[in-house]
Chains A and B, each alone.
Chain A
Amino acid sequence: MSKTEELLHTLEQEGKPALIGYFPAGYPTVADSVEACVAMCESGIDILELGVPYSDPVMDGLVIQVATEQALTNGFKLSMFFDLLREITSRVSTPVLVMSYWNPIMQYGVERFARDLKAAGGAGLITPDLIPDEAADWIRFSDELELDRVFMATPSSSQARLDQVARLSRGFIYAVSTMGITGAREDLDAKARSVVSGVKSTKTEVPVCVGIGISTAEQVTEVNSYADGAIVGSVFIKAYRDGGIEELKKTVKQLKGGN
C-alpha cells in the first residue's frame, strides 16, 4: 500500500485530523521555498503538496497565480526541481506529492519525470488538468514505480466518473469542495460532503481529502469529520508573503491544532 495511504489511515484510526499543505517550488526563490516547505513539515503538516510553477495555471486563484509567476520571474527552472525536492525529502519524513499542470511534465517526458520524481524521494503526483481519460502514460509509469496518483473528484462529476477516479487514484483522492478555483472562502460548500460521500459509496480504500477554499482551523476540523484530510494552499502563501517563515509556521500550527 502507498505510504501516503498508510499515513492517512493511521491518523484516522488515532482520531487525528490530517492536514495537507501546498507550497510552490521556487517561491519566492528556490532556496526560500525549501526552507518554507521544511518549516511547514516541521510545524505539523502531514503531507506536503509541492507545486511546480506554470505559466497558465487555470485551476488557481490570484494568490497562487501571483506566487508562481514570481517564482518563474525569479528564474525557477524544471532542471532545479528535483534537487529542490531531494533536499526537502532528505530533511523531513513527510510524504511529498508534487502538484503540476500537464504540459511541463509532457515536455520533460512522462517516464523521465516519474523516474526522477521517484529517485528524489517524491511520493507521487497531483494532476489538476489531467483527467484519467487522458492519462494512459502516467498510469503506466506510476504503476510501475508505485507512485501516488491523485485525480480530482468534483461536485459536477457523475457517479461513473467518481467510480473511475476512485479506481485509478492512489495515495488519496482530491475532492474539490466547491465549484471554483483555489483561494480562501468563508463558507465551505455543502457540496464537499456530497462529493466525499459519492466517492466513499464506491467502497474505495483510498482516502478522500478535501481541498479548495479551506482557510480556518474550524474548517480543517469540520472537513476531517467526514473526510480523511484537509488540503490548504492559498492561506499558507498569504501567511508567508505577509509575515515570512514565522507567520507561516504559526498558521500551520493554528490550522493543525484546530484552535
Chain B
Amino acid sequence: MTEKTHLQDQNGPYFGEYGGRFVPESLIAALDQLEETYAKAKADPSFAMELDELNKTYVGRPSIITEIPKFAALAGDIRVFLKREDLNHTGSHKINNVIGQALLAKRMGKKRIIAETGAGQHGVASATAAALFGLECVVYMGEVDTQRQALNVARMKLLGAEVVAVTTGSRTLKDAINEALRDWVANVDDTHYLLGTVAGPHPFPTIVRDFHSVIGREARQQMLDDYGFLPDVVTACVGGGSNAIGLFHSFLDDENVALWGFEAAGEGMDTMRHAATLSKGKVGVLHGAKSYMLQDEDGQTIESHSISAGLDYPGVGPEHSWLKDLNRAQYFGISDDEAMQALKALSQTEGIIPAIETAHALAGVIKYGSTLAPGSTVLLNLSGRGDKDMETVGRYFGFLE
C-alpha cells in the first residue's frame, strides 16, 4: 500500500497541471536565484528565528481569534470565529509575505525592491519593509487604483516609496504587474520583485504561500487550544488568493474541514463585470503561471470588475486552481452589494470594520451559513481592516457627499 500523499506537501513549480514559469528567458536567472536563496534560508535555523522575532516584535504576531456571535446570528445557527489579520502592523495579512521576501532580498544582496499593488495594502506593506530594511522601493499601481485608494498612495509616499501610476491597459492591478515585470526584466541585477500574491511564475506561489501559512498554523492551534475543536468550515476572500492560501494551507489535510473561497462577483456572475476567475474563468497563462483566468476566445485577458481594488484581478494563484479541480476547496461569487452589506453588518454588530475585500468572505458566510448543520463552526480570515475604504464606503452608504 502506498502512503497517502499530503496536499500540504505540494510545492511548485507545478500544482497538478497549474503553475510553471511562462516568463521571458531574461527572468529565469533571477527566479533560479530566488528559488536557491529560499531553499537555503529554509534550511537555515537563523532565518526562521529572524522571521519569528520580526513577526513577534514588529508585525504583532500571533494575531488573535475573535468569536462574533451577533454577526453569526445573521447566518443561522452557527458559530463564527475571525482570525484577526487586520490587527497586524500595516492593517492586513500582506505584511507576512513582505517581511519574509525582504529578508530574502537582503540575502541576495539586492538594494532595490519593486512591487505591484491593487488596493494599496501590499504596496504599503512593501514600502514599510523597505523603510525598515533600508531598501529603495518603487510601487506600480494602476491609475484607476491610485484614485480609489488615494489614502494608501499617501501612506506609501510618506514611507519613502516612489509610486508609479500605470496608465496602460485597464490601468488596474493586472497592468501594474505587467509594468513591474518590465521593470524587473530591465533591472534584475540589483532589484527584487516583491510579488504580493500567490500568482506569478515559480517560485512565487510557493514562497508567498509559505510566508502566509503562519496564518493557518496559528489559527489551527488557537482553535484547538482555546476551543478544543477544529472548525467545520475555513473561509477567506480570493483575489490573487494569498490570504486564503495562508489560512487554508494548514487545513488542507484535515478532511472534515471544508474550505470555502469567495471571489468578487462585481455587478453579478451573469454580467461581464466581475472578477470571479475560478467560478467563471478558463485555463490559460497570465503573468507567468498557468491557472484559471478571465479571457476571451483569443486568449486576450478580459478586464475584471469589483468594488474592491484588491480582488479586481483577472487571474488567480495556481494552487487555488488545483484545489478547485481536486474539489478540495469550493469557490463562490459575492456581488459588490452583498459585500458592502456584510461590511456594514460586521461594523454594526461587532464593532469591527473590515476591508471591502474581506467583506466578501463575511457575505459568503451570511449567504451560505444556512446550508450548514446547526451548531457548525466557521473560521474566517479577517484579512484586512477597512480604514482605507472609508471613502468608497462613505459614498456607497451616503455618509459622505
Binding site for B on A (CB under 8 A): 54-59, 61-62, 65-66, 69, 72, 77-79, 102-108, 128-131, 133-134, 151-158, 161, 165, 176, 179-181
**Given A72-B300, A134-B22, A152-B25; 17 other pairs, CB 8 A cutoff:** A55-B169, A56-B175, A56-B286, A58-B23, A58-B178, A59-B182, A103-B299, A129-B285, A130-B22, A131-B23, A133-B21, A151-B25, A152-B26, A156-B188, A157-B25, A157-B28, A179-B185
CB pair B301–A56 under 8 Å, yes or no, is yes
Shortest Cβ gap from B73 to chain A (Å): 45
Give every chain B residue within 8 A of A165 (Cβ-Cβ): 25
Q: Knowing A55-B300, A56-B287, A103-B286 are in contact, say whether A156-B186 is a contact too (CB < 8 A).
A: no
Q: Does B258 interact with chain A (Cβ within 8 Å)?
A: no
Give every chain A residue within 8 A of B286 (Cβ-Cβ): 56, 103
Q: Which listed residue (B25, B28, B299, B301) contacts A106, Cβ 8 A? A: B299
Q: Mark B147-160, 1 if CB is under 8 A from A, else 0.
A: 00000000000000
Give every chain A residue within 8 A of B300 (Cβ-Cβ): 54-55, 72, 104
CB pair B185–A152 under 8 Å, yes or no, is no
Q: Does B181 interact with chain A (Cβ within 8 Å)?
A: yes
CB pair A129–B182 under 8 Å, yes or no, is no
CB pair A131–B185 under 8 Å, yes or no, is no
Instruction: Report how far A161 CA is from B169 CA in the complex, Å.
Output: 33
Q: Does B69 interact with chain A (Cβ within 8 Å)?
A: no
Q: Which listed residue (B29, B186, B285) contacts A103, Cβ 8 A? A: B285
CB pair A107–B298 under 8 Å, yes or no, is yes
CB pair B185–A181 under 8 Å, yes or no, is yes
Instruction: Report how far A78 CA is from B298 CA in the complex, Å.
Output: 6
CB pair A156–B28 under 8 Å, yes or no, is yes
CB pair A179–B189 under 8 Å, yes or no, is yes
Q: Knowing A56-B301, A58-B181 are in contact, say whether A65-B168 is a contact too (CB < 8 A).
A: yes
Binding site for A on B (CB under 8 A): 20-26, 28-30, 32, 168-169, 174-175, 178, 181-182, 185-189, 282, 284-288, 295, 297-301
CB pair B22–A179 under 8 Å, yes or no, is no
Give every chain B residue within 8 A of A133 (Cβ-Cβ): 21
CB pair B24–A156 under 8 Å, yes or no, is no
Give every chain A residue within 8 A of B30 (Cβ-Cβ): 156
Instruction: Report how far A72 CA is from B24 CA in the complex, Å.
Output: 22
Closest 7 CB pairs of A and B: A107-B299, A156-B29, A180-B186, A104-B299, A103-B299, A152-B25, A55-B300
Instruction: Report how far A116 CA is from B188 CA in the complex, Å.
Output: 37
Q: Knowing A104-B299, A104-B300 are in contact, say whether A153-B25 is a contact too (CB < 8 A).
A: yes
Q: Which listed residue (B29, B181, B295) contacts A157, Cβ 8 A? A: B29
Shortest Cβ gap from A43 to chain B (Å): 30
CB pair A179–B187 under 8 Å, yes or no, is yes
Q: Kindly report which residue of chain B lies nearest to residue A54, judged by CB atoms.
A: B300
Supply 20 A–B pairs (Cβ within 8 Å), ascending by A: A54-B299, A56-B169, A56-B301, A58-B287, A59-B182, A69-B169, A78-B298, A102-B22, A103-B284, A103-B299, A107-B282, A130-B22, A131-B25, A134-B22, A151-B25, A154-B24, A155-B26, A161-B25, A180-B186, A181-B186
CB pair A103–B26 under 8 Å, yes or no, is no
Q: Kindly report which residue of chain B lies nearest to residue A104, judged by CB atoms.
A: B299
Give every chain A residue within 8 A of B301 (Cβ-Cβ): 55-56, 103
B contacts with A: majority SS:
mixed
Q: Knowing A58-B178, A180-B185 are in contact, say whether A154-B168 is a contact too (CB < 8 A).
A: no
Q: Kindly report which residue of chain B lies nearest to residue A108, judged by CB atoms.
A: B299
Instruction: Report how far A107 CA is from B288 CA in the complex, Å.
Output: 16
Q: Which listed residue (A62, A108, A131) contacts B28, Cβ 8 A? A: A131
Shortest Cβ gap from B24 to chain A (Å): 5
Q: Kindly report which residue of chain B lies nearest to residue A128, judged by CB atoms.
A: B24
Instruction: Report how far A66 CA is from B29 CA in the complex, Å.
Output: 29
Q: Residue among B22, B168, B169, B174 with the most chain A CB within 10 A?
A: B22
Instruction: Report how far A186 CA is from B158 CA in the complex, Å.
Output: 35
CB pair B24–A129 under 8 Å, yes or no, is yes
Instruction: Report how far A179 CA is from B282 CA in the complex, Å.
Output: 33
CB pair B24–A58 under 8 Å, yes or no, is yes
CB pair A158–B29 under 8 Å, yes or no, is yes
CB pair A56–B174 under 8 Å, yes or no, is yes
Q: Kindly report which residue of chain B lies nearest to residue A61, judged by CB atoms.
A: B182
CB pair B185–A58 under 8 Å, yes or no, is yes
Shortest Cβ gap from A84 to chain B (Å): 14
Q: Knowing A54-B300, A65-B168, A107-B297 are in contact, say whether A134-B189 is a contact too (CB < 8 A).
A: no
CB pair A102–B285 under 8 Å, yes or no, is yes
Q: Kindly report which residue of chain B lies nearest to residue A78, judged by CB atoms.
A: B298
Shortest Cβ gap from B183 to chain A (Å): 9
Instruction: Report how far A161 CA is from B27 CA in the complex, Å.
Output: 12
Q: Kindly report which residue of chain A lies nearest to residue B180, judged by CB atoms.
A: A58
CB pair A129–B22 under 8 Å, yes or no, is yes
Q: Residue among B20, B24, B25, B284 with the most chain A CB within 10 A?
A: B25
Instruction: Report how far A61 CA is from B285 CA in the complex, Å.
Output: 20
CB pair A129–B26 under 8 Å, yes or no, is no
